[in-house]
A and B are shown apart, each in its own frame.
Chain A
Amino acid sequence: MAVILVVEDDEANQELVTRFLKRDGHRVLLALDGSAALKSALEHVPDLILMDLGLPGMDGWEAAQRIKSSPETAHIPIIALTARALPEDVLKARNAGCDAYETKPVVYQRLLKKIEALVNR
């Protein structure tokens, strides 16, 4: 069981990710945009963050970068969710400090395995 912060602005996708994670026994925190994600990461220090990159306001790249550059939250693994696996997107996510990425539509079996590997690292 891990505490996972899900950063996602689309309501249906929020519910979907939440249901899959809970089904796998995880506890879920939600944030709708980058700044809410920063706040929640500092306050709750989750075991892992699932970060959608295309967010309104502060986007996922900036949020990831800030979380990784703050000493209180730098250790939290981040999995980026991207719409397309364009090489520049993947590179940008890696440069922002994301530990892994998954493309949408999410293949949940694979995502859950990645979460497990990163949480138990």
Chain B
Amino acid sequence: MSHELRTPLNAILGFAELLRLEMADQGVHTWDSDVQKIQRAGTHLLALISDVMDSSKIEAGKIELQPECFDIAALLQEVAAGVQAIALKNAVELVVFCEPAMLYADRVRIEQCLFNLLGNACKFTQDGRVTIDARPDRNTQPEGTSGAAWYNVRISDTGIGMRPEDLDKLFSYFTQLDGSNARKYGGSGLGLAISRKLALLMGGDITVESALGQGSTFTLRLPLGTAPLGTAPDERSGQNDAQPSPALYENRS
């Protein structure tokens, strides 16, 4: 289904790009803004299709998680690099502190959640700062063990924030709090709902603290589960270190 929807849309986007280039070749710029509107609407539609496909899969219980061993800090660096363009555009300083930890989880789905949260933070902040603070939650250390049970990724922004009464609606499908936001900020209005459902599916959660004009903090909480025996046991040792040495990454735009 997804493929059937995407193929014609790819042609629309591709020909719009070709049109823009060929007009530029001939020094014609009269219709540049019209072509840009086609491209922007098409890109928006493409994102909507992906999100609608994803949410219907989640609702039908058809998402199959594909867990693997990976370093969450490395993934965070990748995602941070991926949103640099939006951050630069909005004059947002992106600061990343993350402590490495090996997770056994669905890397692709976690990447999707992180892209959504971090993308939102950069989109809804203007001339400000977005901070990622990611580390094992040492308050949740089960008794008699040396490792934490959870890994928290806190994404704080100095952006527009939200009223307390709006926070409840935030994780429902198709709610961008203000209708005009969809036009101003883009996005499907599905991303947060999808991300939270994925987080719950993975045994974690996404929570939010925010106040209007005071920015927002989203926390993605992930279980530091271990891989089943026989799947890359060497790679699991990282999370069980009694005294993990916190490596600090910084990434300023």
Contacts and interface: CB of A to CB of B under 8 A. Distances in A.
Given A54-B3, A105-B46, A10 B11 contact: yes
Contacts of B9: 105
Given A86-B108, A106-B14, A10 B7 contact: yes
Interface string B204-241: 00000000000000000000000000000000000000
B2 A19 contact: no
Interface stretch (B15-23, B91-99, B175-183): B15-23
B6 interface: yes
Contacts of B2: 83-84
A16 B15 CA distance: 7
Contact of B11 (A16, A54, A86, A87): A16
10 contacts: A20-B18, A54-B3, A84-B2, A87-B107, A87-B108, A105-B13, A105-B14, A105-B46, A108-B14, A108-B17
Nearest to B25: A23
A83 B13 CA distance: 14
Interface residues of A, number: 17
Q: How large is the interface on B (under 10, 10 to 19, 20 to 34, 35 or more residues)?
A: 10 to 19
B10 interface: yes
Contacts of A20: 14, 18
Interface in A29-66: 54
B6 to A, nearest CB: 6
Interface in A70-88: 83-84, 86-88
Nearest to A104: B10
Contacts of A120: none
Nearest to B9: A105
B13 to A, nearest CB: 5
B14 A16 contact: yes
B8 interface: yes
A20 B22 CA distance: 10
Contacts of A19: 18
B108 A13 contact: no
Interface in B1-54: 2-3, 6-11, 13-15, 17-18, 21-22, 46
B108 A105 contact: no
Contacts of B13: 105
A11 B211 CA distance: 52
A13 B10 contact: yes
A38 to B, nearest CB: 23
Interface in A91-109: 104-106, 108
Given A83-B2, A83-B3, A106 B18 contact: no
A23 B46 CA distance: 26
A117 interface: no
Q: Which 9 A-B pairs have the closest CB atoms?
A: A12-B11, A16-B14, A105-B10, A105-B13, A104-B10, A83-B3, A10-B7, A13-B11, A19-B18
